Amino acid sequence: MSRRFIMVFAGLSGAVMASISLPLFAHEGHGKGEVAPYDLDTPRKVSPETAAHIGLETAEVDFGEVQEVLRLLGVVRPVPDQVQAIAARIGGTVLKVTVQVGDTVRRGDLLVEIDSPQLGQFIYEAHKLDSEYFQLLGELAGARSRVEELVIEVDSASEQAAIVDREYARLQGNNGAVAVNVLSRKQAAAVRARSEARLREIELSLAHRQLDSMTKQAEAMHRSREALRQVIASIRAEAGTEAPKHIAAADAANLMFTGADEESPGRLGLVRLYAPMSGVVTVRDVSRGEGIEAGQTLLEVADYSRVQIEGELPESLVDRLGPAAGNQVRIRRVGGSADEPIGVGEVRFISPVIDPVKRTTHLIIVADNARGLLRDGLYVDLSVVLRQELSAIVVPVSAVVTDGPMHFVFVKEGDLYKKQDINPGARDDRVVEVLEGVLPGDVIVTRGAYSLTQLRPGAGATAAEGSDGASDESGSSG
């Protein structure tokens, strides 16, 4: 047989063998496809250079915790109370904007200054109302004094009338001993005294009514004055922030009312918008010199140090999670590494309502976001912990390779890596429980197991040759 024929035959045989080999899928590959059709039972011998190239890592098998988890998909959203729109309560012209989108601000930082003629008019009316109110208070004090004077005059007139009446009665009882003309004069004096007392009583009654009217007018004016002052103060103290710390509380209240300050003493209509919370400026819809209306949103500040994740729980899984909140949740990027979560949270709310179309219920998870990895709108994988087993033989998920119904790991023995079938038990998003196959203390491949399945056996190496004939990486991966 010619050499050429032998080479063609060998090539065809290799092609046929490759075509009938069973596919092998690896967990760690995440969609990398089939592994090469090599003899997996042949121990692998890997040089340090190749191990570093494929990122090979090993670890001892040990007892650990395994949890039953529920896998869901969610989307990151800000906590509603941690997003604040900044809007002026009155129209005007923008004088200054101190921030840009992406700037970090602290609560109380100055954001926008606005010149508002309407606010200036409010302040002018407030000053005018103050003047009228203080004038009315003066008139009210005079009315009270007049009432007090009339009370004294009424008492005096009444006493004088009583004296004249007694004198007239005494003279009238003398049985004609007193001249008629004298008696008539006494009678006329008594009538005048009673009339004078009555007139003073009428005047006092009128003074009381006038005092009551002025008092009610003063109270109404005081309420109007206070209401206008509160409107002005609320406009000047936008977003509920405090006055600058270098201004005393009493002075700050007057500052907000008068519109005067250290930087612009003559500008009555100055409105300052302060940051109501610490966070990041996410929206800026205003420019210097722009006219704005009351209620128009100018900026938006959001605090993403804590976020919420919204997901949908299928109706069939509701009973597994239960009605109570508080389950721990591990959060990962969709398609990201299974080794390190980007966040940890807990279930805050499970809606009692089932969507009639999707047949799901709404789920809300809250999570700390100190590292800023949970961004608004990011889709994430959620692992909701249902229960846990505290003591089990476990291996990392990345260590287990799946071949149809079979599961195996690579055990390191000296310089060799040998395939070892295992019987898996419970598993979560981190580890797999091993019921049979490996024991605590065994050293297994925790990273790079899929790559080991891709190593082509060395020339002449067979499984029967044992460790002396073990395969190495002399052939490239398929």
What's the whole-number average pLDDT of the chain?
Answer: 78
Q: Which of 280, 302, 324 is the last residue of a domain?
A: 302
pLDDT attached to residue 376:
92
Same domain, 126 and 228: yes
**CATH number of the domain to which 42 belongs:** 2.40.420.20
Q: What is the pLDDT of residues 1-28, one digit of tens each?
A: 443 333 333 343 333 333 333 334 444 4
Q: Which residues of the chain have pLDDT under 50?
A: 1-36, 239-265, 458-470, 474-478
Residues 377, 399, single domain; the answer is no
Question: Which residue type does 80 have?
Answer: P
- How far apart CA 15 and CA 86 sit, in angstroms, is 70
Q: Are residues 130 and 227 in the same domain?
A: yes
What's the rounded Cα separation, in Å, for the pair 219 and 224? 9
Q: Are residues 359 and 337 in the same domain?
A: yes
Check whether residue 216 and residue 145 sit in a common domain: yes
Among 193, 209, 236, the domain boundary falls at 236
Domain interval for residue 93: 82-116+239-302
**pTM value?**
0.56
pLDDT of residue 360: 93
316 occurs within a structural domain? yes
d(CA 222, CA 313) in angstroms, rounded, equals 58
Is 17 a domain residue?
Answer: no
Beta strands of 47-87 (E only): which ranges?
A: 57-60, 62-78, 83-87
- C-alpha 409/C-alpha 256 separation (Å) is 73
* Residue 318 to residues 70, 349, 388, Cα–Cα distance (Å): 11, 12, 19
Residue 8 lies in a domain: no
Q: 127 and 106: one domain? A: no
Residue 108 and residue 246 in one domain: yes
pLDDT for the residue numbered 465 = 41
Instruction: Judge whether 282 lies within some domain.
Output: yes
Task: Indicate if 199 and 227 belong to the same structural domain.
Answer: yes
DSSP state of 459: T
The number of folded domains in the chain is: 4
C-alpha distances out from residue 10 to 7, 14, 364, 456, Å? 5, 6, 62, 17
Closest to 343 measured CA to CA, from 299, 383, 398, 311: 383
CA dist 447 and 395 (Å) reads 11
In Å, what is the CA distance from 230 to each residue of 191, 294, 299? 58, 17, 24
Q: Do 295 and 399 reside in the same domain of the chain?
A: no
pLDDT digits (tens, 9 = 90+) for 367-425: 999 888 999 999 999 988 887 777 888 888 888 998 888 899 999 888 888 888 998 88
Number of residues written out for the chain: 478
Asked if 460 and 423 sit in the same domain, the reply is yes
Whether 477 is covered by a domain: the verdict is: no
CATH number for the domain that contains residue 88: 2.40.50.100
- From 236, 262, 282, the end of a domain falls on 236
Phi, psi of 472 (to 5 degrees): -135, -170
Asked if residue 205 and residue 217 are part of one domain, the reply reads yes
**CATH code, 335:** 2.40.30.170
454, part of any domain: yes
Q: Would strands 44-45 and 471-472 be described as parallel, antiparallel, or unpaired? A: parallel
Q: What is the pLDDT of residue 266?
A: 53
Model pLDDT for residues 103-114, shown as the tens digit of each residue: 999 998 999 998
In a domain, 6, yes or no: no
**Residue 263 belongs to a domain:** yes
Pair 110, 248 in one domain = yes
